[in-house]
Amino acid sequence: MNCSSFGIGLAGLGTVGSGVVLALERNAGLISARTGGRVKLEIARVLVRDLTKLRPVALPDECLTTSWRELVEDPAVDIVVELIGGTTDAFEIVAAALKAGKPVVTGNKALLAERGVELFALSKQHDAPIHFEAAVAGGIPIIKTVQESFIGNRIHSIVGIINGTSNYILERMTSAGLEFPAALAEAQALGYAEADPALDVNGWDAAHKAILLATLAYGFPIDPAKIHVAGIEQVRPIDIEFATRLGYVVKLLAVVREHADGAVELRVQPSFIAQSHILASVHGVFNAVAVHGDAAGESLFYGRGAGQDPTASSVVADLVEAGRSLAQANGHRGFLPYREAGELLPVEETETAYYVRFDVTDRPGVIAEVARVLADAGIGISGTHSPVKPDQPDADFLDMVFLLHTCSFGRLQETLREIESLNCINSAPVVFRIEKL
């Protein structure tokens, strides 16, 4: 039995990087046993910003460096792990590693979503794979599942809750009646949200992950500028209250769906989903992804979407896969796009039912004015509601909600622009899709 030892160049020793070191120390024997004694992984070099900083893991001083070039070029480094985040230095590190023919493991969804076209081209050119299980849904093995377990399926759809921070905030708004700022502050205090939570709450963290899943499922690069992304910043307790009353919950949902003509629908937005659907029971910072394949049918994957140990688990799994590939020398086993181009369905052509909330001036005839514009556009109304606020019974302004039948998003947007011009409308309407899953 031949045992191959592979040196790891670890760029970043933060929460996840430290978790990777600890996991390798804790489970070295287990990994060796499960690979038939053929793969041994050792930390060879670690990139840090400050050599003097106290760290939660003990590493020899000679392992540490502040130069990413030194890490990548070190002959003792066989596999490069990028965990520094961002899209600038991270791109340079990953590109240099691939050019050197070294496999890369990364959890950087923004990097792959925004610059993956360039990196996967380098991966193919230099026969050096990129492994990125940790980039989507933390410890859930969704990348390998889509890439390998569903390889014999035509994937009809991938729908998921893939940002734990937003899911926690929406749940606290639902269960405790908190306003968005209070729920966000609580998430930050518990360490679920960053000091700058923009990417979590504006939907782009989930969008980057959805882009990666769509690229895996349908094989062509996707331009982030061409997808529809909306976050949870405008969700208010009144929206949560309406959802509950109507039998729904509000979730930040990523929807990837192939249509009959081959066009791919890709969007991220707060949505109403039925309380009876399994995704409605995904609580706290947990993630869940539902994959529908033509052969496998519907499958659900659930688990922690972030955190030191779940994310480190995915990184270590990728390291083992990279080590196996190097040991067996059987060619590139990482992901490569298999189509040069594909068609994204314009968000204007996507169709669902909708919940629309208007801030209106309280006077007779308001409902009739709005209903007339909707009727002229051919958009049906399934219900209206105008709540009276007990603490403000004589308020001049109120929230009016319309539940609308299924129509294209483009027609809805055009109609809402006309409604906004009415002198009874005080601000831009808030729109939630009502998903039929």
Annotate 313-325 with b (16+ C-beta within 10 A) or e (fewer): bbbbbbbbbbbbb
Q: What are phi and psi of 218, to 5 degrees?
A: -120, -5
If residue 119 lies in a helix (H) or strand (E), which one and from where to where?
helix 109-125
From the CB of residue 351, how many other CB atoms can be counted at a distance below 10 Å?
14
For 387-406, b where at least 16 C-beta lie within 10 A, e where not — what string? eeeeeeeeeeebbbbbbbee
At 277 the three-state DSSP class reads coil
Residues counted in the chain: 437
Cβ atoms within 10 Å, residue 310: 19
Residues designated as active site: 209
**Which residue(s) pair with 432 in the sheet?**
355
List the beta bridge partners of residue 7: 42
CB under 8 Å, gap of 24 or more: what pairs does 371-377 form? 373/415, 373/418, 373/419, 373/422, 374/402, 374/404, 374/415, 374/419, 377/411, 377/414, 377/415, 377/418
C-beta of residue 187 within 8 angstroms of C-beta of residue 164:
no
> By three-state DSSP, how is residue 202 classified?
coil
